[in-house]
A = this chain, B = another copy of it.
């Protein structure tokens, strides 16, 4: 279990902008599900907007569109078997929390459960549903962020296609070369 602290919403780019694979958890009409997702981007600081593509064939698609809520969970590389298993099974067939040994914990502002084992959890409400039909694009507002205390450099996974992942490596700072307004 990862102990977490509240994290400022205008700084969550640190975890989402690098492009990690995330787990999306949903609750709709009494059932929970988790999906693996890699097509996403930051879209605003304040409000904290986050856009993601979801295929309309995914079991979570209608759950997310109907409930208008989710949690974006950030897994670390020690969870790779679960990330791959979740992405290669369907919530129509199995309970993914149970099958993959993950712990649902209540979120604060949304009904969708957070995944306790993940490094960070971002509670989201659907901000704009108007791009779902055209592009499968869900625009979320992140309304609360929970991040593990301590190190801020989780080992994340970044999908390359064809079953391969890049694992995050070292951190380099060039802070002194930035204009103050760009930091």
Contact = CB atoms under 8 A, between A and B. Distances in A.
Interface stretch (A59-67, A103-111, A142-150, A162-170): A162-170
Nearest to A163: B175
Query: What's the interface size class on A, roughly?
Result: 35 or more
Given A41-B51, A131-B131, A139-B135, A164 B173 contact: yes
A171 B165 contact: yes
Interface in A139-183: 139, 153, 155, 157-179, 182-183
A17 B158 contact: yes
A9 interface: no
Contact of A17 (B19, B175, B182): B19
Contacts of A139: 135
B135 A43 contact: yes
A18 B17 contact: no
5 contacts: A17-B38, A18-B159, A44-B135, A51-B137, A169-B170
